[in-house]
Structure 1
């Protein structure tokens, strides 16, 4: 380790209940090669590179029972607070899982879902701009193809992560910044031209400060859908994961609708949206419960 790499350790107490497996499994399936690395060896290990105020860095979150142990390597010691905030954002500890579960347990339609997956979380995001780009890249393609495309974007337009700043050998690059992507030629990005243009457009808005993804979620979604190439699903997904907005229903999502139908809920976007009003202010958690129920093959009575 060179003199400019500063190591830190931090411990985060996880609330109870807390569905670590589902959250980490979600992140593992969407890990960007070179930027993120997720593994399970008893507990879970989530590692990622970080773009911090003082320079490059990386962090590793290891789960051990009811604790998450965070290790980081930083260019500047002063970036410890920002790195811990990034780790906490990924884990998404608010609102309290017990509070959300209690709200869903009061409804007969969702009580079995909570019983099956107590403490289910909406996975957060360490890098807001990266997640926004990832959401756009993933439009109308598989999760695996989106991860590969984002990895190629990082390798071509990102910056190499110095080896001494990597907490995991799988971390090789920083994801390209909004300022870098705003200057990219959308016709030369390895994706459909319209999608590339949407990425350049959102990167320009973020770099110029016209959109702050940490601001009021309703306002942010309105600003995002005003950009070319970003629809309500993408804006809602970004709001859920970056803004940690607990009250977003992705009623147009195909899996959400299929899962709702299997569970005896309305499955058209308009009817499902009206039905879900009873679950405010936790409609994001209805979304992730419906995702989880569909992928696990769960249906009432099983």
Structure 2
């Protein structure tokens, strides 16, 4: 899902551009100056965007917008610049100069993010958003005092997804994978970290291993989920848009350059996704 039609992400406007085509009707709304969505509680939280700056008093949305991550982004830029120079990838150096400190999109609800990642396997962003809209209809309606302005329900719980996954259209195997993951979460067989808190590398490694044990969930899905849960070192080498973006950035050997970016490979992946939407740089 992210590799297809990915938007360049730099600061708050970049996060809005990332979220806009992925917004699930009834659950979240992206406007020119902010973002609103329903969350467990239930509650409706918002982010206000002014220029490059985002502001919110909701911890889950702060994680979604990578607020407070500027120091890590700048450290990643330094590492990527060094690796790019070492490997002769001058367009990557130029991309960093043009758009420094790319924000890493987080997530507001880890359970929801896993379902989104599975639904988004091997289809376009638009197709995945339509499928997620079908699932969203299973969610609990918001109380009247919270509903309005395009938001009227919560994203369904794991139990609701497990019970109603047949609303999805497409391969039966994918529907089964969605149900299997939702059942594992609902039963407690797989525990997801709090979205608002940064998961430790060991927690993420355990989560990836447990998810890979489920039929229908592969490395792309767990890698994407890991990225959205705050992993600074996720890289989907097999992603078509990552490979395309790497070529546009003058990276002749992505695997080799990535080895020199250890610890910051999520930033490299975001650079590749952003570059995939633009013409190659000479």
TM-score normalised to structure 1 length: 0.79
Q: For residue 160 of structure 1, what is the aligned residue in structure 2? A: 141
Q: Report the alpha carbon displacement of residue 18 of structure 1 after superposing the two structures with TM.
A: 5.4
Structure 1 residue 219 and structure 2 residue 206: aligned? yes
RMSD between aligned residues: 2.0
Most deviating of 60-69 and 117-126: 60-69
Asked if 1:31 corresponds to 2:45, the answer is no
For 1:226-284, what per-residue CA distance to the aligned partner results, in whole angstroms no more than 9, with x for missing partners?
A: 1111110011001100x210101110100111121233324xxxx63343111110101
Q: For residues 122-161 of structure 1, what are the structure 2 equivalents within 5 Å?
A: 122-155=104-137, 157-161=138-142
Deviations 1:155-204 (A, max 9, x none): 1x1111223113x51111111101222233x5453332111111111111
| Distance (Å, rounded) in 2 between the aligned partners of 1:296 and 1:123 | 20
Match of 2:162 in 1: 182
Q: Determine if the alignment matches structure 1 residue 20 to structure 2 residue 12.
A: yes
Q: Secondary structure at the match of 1:265?
A: coil
Of structures 1 and 2, the larger Rg is shown by: 1
Residue 205 (str. 1) matches residue 184 (str. 2): yes
Q: Give the aligned partner of residue 115 of structure 1.
A: 97
Identify unmatched segments of 5+ residues in structure 1.
Answer: 1-16, 72-83
| Structure-2 residue corresponding to 1:47 | 36
Q: Please give the alpha-carbon distance, in whole angstroms, between the structure 2 residues aligned to 1:23 and 1:296.
A: 18
Structure 2 counterpart of 1:259: 245
1:101 to 77, 90, 95: 77
In 2, Cα distance between the equivalents of 1:65 and 1:300? Answer: 27
1:69 Cα deviation after fit: 3.0
- The higher relative CO (CA closer than 8 Å, separation ≥ 6) is in 2
Contact 2:56 2:62 in 1 (8 A): no
Number of residues paired by the alignment?
258
Match for 1:295 among 270, 277, 282? 277
2:246–2:275 CA contact under 8 A, matched in 1: no
2:265 aligned with 1:279, yes or no? no
Structure having the larger proportion of residues in strand:
1
Mapped contact 1:159–1:174 kept (Cα < 8 A): yes
Higher mean alpha-carbon deviation, 102-111 vs 278-287, is at: 102-111
**TM-score (norm: length of structure 2):** 0.85
CA pair 106-182 structure 1, distance change in 2 beyond 3 A: same
Deviation at 1:125, TM superposition (A): 0.7
- Per-residue CA deviation, residues 2-61 of structure 1 (Å, 9 max, x unaligned), is xxxxxxxxxxxxxxx952222110011211111111010xxx311111113xxx111110
